Amino acid sequence: MKERKLYDINAPNASTGIINGESSNVLNWDDVRFNWAYPMYKNMLANFWTPFEINMSNDRKQWPELSSDEQETFKKIIGLLAFLDSIQTDYSSKVADYLTDSSLAALMQVLSFQEVVHNQSYSYVLSSLVDKHEQDQIFEYWKHDEILLERNNFIAEGYERFVEEKTPQAFIESVVYDVVLEGLFFYAGFAFFYNLARNQKMVSTSTMINYINRDELIHVNLFAHIFKETLNENPELDTKENMQFVTDTFKKAVDLEVKWGQHIIGNKIDGINMNELEDYIKYTANKRCKLLGVDAPYPEIKGNPLKWIKAYKEVDEGKSDFFEQKSRQYTKVSDTNGFDEL
């Protein structure tokens, strides 16, 4: 694949293709290849947040009152997220180099930036709750925990292939791994935090997780757009085999995510039933597959089995509002307001 040039005096501003095209690389938002790009950019900026906005003092008080299982799971999830968001920052920045349109590269830069903020939130949370030594240990869980290793290797290998072999086929495969990472592998962990929050525990951390979740939903949409436009412009990639690859990858990913769910949640966390969590993981995989244009791999799962999960419907629907969201508070979590988005 052709890397986007630093500048090209003979090329137009709007690129001639999503990959392997020509582009001046000068960004004029009113002259770009895809009309969904600018609204998505505006949405991403509207979602700006920083961990500094969030006061950790209540969480700090509640931390010693969590059960040791809850503390253990909390730390493992943060350890997982720290690893995944770190490699995600780099993967997205490498993807940016191969998207010909400067507006898509720009979206990818905004995404990388958001991953940086997510990463910082993990240091920020841990430094409020545990001592420096324990924080450093948690940041190394990914090196030792076997279930974590297996799961992370699954993604990392999908990314590595694209990093090493820059072909359109490796590219679209890596995008599927991305949608697994951002659209599935975070979700058992997210559910744990939402469950804490609905029990009025660790609400600040959960608010941060919710902001991260909101960002991830847009990331998933962005990568799904990229996947579908790449197939559309390169019909030789739009094959049965590649559709099957999506299904197979998500099925493997679901197995890993369920295993991880059993490891961190199982039957030891009050309020989360493991069978429901498994269905929730499958429900989420169905949504991501449909977004990529593939049939649901688990047609028996019809709706969200974790009704209590607070969702941010307006974000999915592109109705976010900058100033309103700035002051959004995490106050509406209840058993009754569950809707069907996460």
DSSP, residue by residue, 117-172: HHHHHHHHHHHHHS-HHHHHHHTTHHHH-HHHHHHHHHHHHHHHHHHHS--HHHHH
CB nearer to Ca ion: give 21 or 189. Answer: 189
Both tokens of 205, joined, read 């951390």
Beta-carbon contacts of residue 337 (< 8 Å; ≥ 6 apart): 310
Residue of the chain from 63, 91, 185, 260 that contacts a copy of itself (CB under 8 A): 91
122 catalytically annotated:
yes
Q: Is residue 127 close enough to count as binding a copy of itself by CB under 8 A?
A: yes
Q: Is residue 4 close enough to count as binding Ca ion by CB under 5 A?
A: no
CB nearer to a copy of itself: give 89 or 247. Answer: 89
Residue of the chain from 214, 219, 225, 288 that contacts Ca ion (CB under 5 A): 219
Long-range contacts of 105-113 (CB under 8 A, 24+ apart): 105/4, 106/27, 106/41, 107/37, 107/40, 107/41, 107/44, 107/222, 108/222, 110/41, 110/44, 110/45, 111/44, 111/219, 111/222
* Residue 156, CA distances (Å) to 124, 131, 183, 297 in order: 25, 30, 15, 23
Q: Is residue 105 close enough to count as binding a copy of itself by CB under 8 A?
A: yes
Give the interface segment with a copy of itself, choosing from 61-69, 106-114, 277-285, 310-318 (CB under 8 A). Answer: 106-114
Q: Is residue 39 close enough to count as binding a copy of itself by CB under 8 A?
A: no
Q: Is residue 113 close enough to count as binding a copy of itself by CB under 8 A?
A: yes
Q: Is residue 255 close enough to count as binding a copy of itself by CB under 8 A?
A: no
Which residues of this chain interact with Ca ion, rule CB under 5 A? Answer: 88, 182, 216, 219
- The catalytic residue positions are 122
Which residues of this chain interact with a copy of itself, rule CB under 8 A? Answer: 4, 6-7, 9, 13, 24-31, 41-42, 45, 48, 50, 52, 82-83, 86-87, 89-91, 93-94, 96-97, 102, 105-106, 109-110, 112-113, 115-117, 119-120, 122-124, 127, 132, 135-136, 139-140, 142-143, 156, 159-160, 163, 322
